[in-house]
Amino acid sequence: MKILVVGAHGTVGRGVVAELGQRHEVIAAGRNGADVTLDLADPSSVRSALAPLGQLDAIVSAAGQVGWAPLLDLTPEQWAFSVANKLMGQVHLALVGQQFLRDGGSITLTSGVLVDQPVPCGAAASLANGGIEAFVRAAAIELPRGIRINAVSPGVLQESMGDLGPFFRGFEPVPAARVALGYSRSVEGAETGKVYAVQ
C-alpha cells in the first residue's frame, strides 16, 4: 500500500512508520523536513500537498497539537488553537484526503486517553479527542466508495514520559511500538467507525 503518514517524524509517528514501513510504502508528511510539507491547520496546504502524490491507499494522522493549562487559565486563543489544530486539522485532512484515496482506502486519525480519563491541564486535549472520536463514528456511515475511517486512542507513550510524566502519574505508559499496532489494525484491517484504544 501507499500510505501517507502525517506527523511521521513525531513520537507516535515514528512508531507507526516502523510498523507500517515493513510492509508498505510510507510517505512522511509534516510542517518541516518531511517528504511532503503540509500544515493540518491549513486545509489548502493539505490539498496542494496531496494533489501531486497520485492515488493513495491509506492516510494516517499521528499529529495534532493542543494547549495545556489549568482549566480556568486556558485562554480563548488556546482553545481555538486546540480545535483548529488537533480537531479540525484532522477533520479537514479526512475530508480533503478522501478525494485522493482509492475505493476502499482508509483514514486513521488520532485521539487519546484523555477523552475519558481526564488529567489536570488537559481539558483542551480531552475536548479535541472527544470531537475526533465522534467525527470518526459519524463520518464512517457517510464516506463514499467504501472508504473506511477509524481513530487510535493512545495512552501516554513510554517515550513521552520525560515531558508528560508529571501530568500522567499513575497511568501505565505504552511503548510506541504497541501503539503502532492500533494504526496497523485500522490500515490493514477491515473495520470502520472504530476507536482502537491502545492504553
For residue 7, the Cα-to-chain-centroid distance in whole angstroms is 8
Which of 3, 27, 39, 131 is the binder for ligand NAP (CB under 6 A)? 39
Which of 30, 105 has the CB closer to ligand NAP?
30
Cell digits for 138? 459519524
Candidate segments 58-66, 71-79, 143-151, 185-193, binder of ligand NAP by CB under 6 A? 58-66
Candidate segments 36-44, 115-123, 140-148, 188-196, binder of ligand NAP by CB under 6 A? 36-44
Q: Which residues pair with 158 in a beta bridge?
A: none
3-state DSSP helix/strand/coil % of the chain, to nearest 5: 45, 20, 30
What strands, in cross-sheet order, belong to the sheet with 101-110?
36-37, 25-30, 2-6, 56-61, 101-110, 148-154, 195-198
Asked if 19 is part of the footprint of ligand NAP (rule: CB under 6 A), the reply reads: no
Which of 103, 156 has the CB closer to ligand NAP?
156
Half-sphere exposure of 54 (CA within 13 A, CB side): 4
Tell me how far CA of residue 86 lies from CA of 6, 12, 19, 83, 189, in angstroms. Answer: 12, 14, 23, 6, 24
Asked if 131 is part of the footprint of ligand NAP (rule: CB under 6 A), the reply reads: no
Question: Total residues contacting ligand NAP (rule CB under 6 A)?
Answer: 29
Distance, in Å, from the CA atom of 63 to the CA atom of 13, rounded to the nearest integer, reads 8
Candidate segments 48-56, 60-68, 94-102, 142-150, binder of ligand NAP by CB under 6 A? 60-68
Give me the least distance between CB of 104 and ligand NAP, in Å please.
26
Candidate segments 33-41, 69-77, 95-103, 180-188, binder of ligand NAP by CB under 6 A? 33-41
Asked if 97 is part of the footprint of ligand NAP (rule: CB under 6 A), the reply reads: no
Asked if 151 is part of the footprint of ligand NAP (rule: CB under 6 A), the reply reads: no
Q: Which residue do the cell numbers 517515550 mark?
A: 159
Distance, in Å, from the CA atom of 18 to the CA atom of 26, rounded to the nearest integer, reads 10
Which of 69, 121, 164, 181 is the binder for ligand NAP (CB under 6 A)? 164
Residues that bind ligand NAP (CB under 6 A): 6-7, 9-13, 30-32, 38-41, 62-65, 85-86, 89, 110, 112-113, 154, 156-157, 160, 164
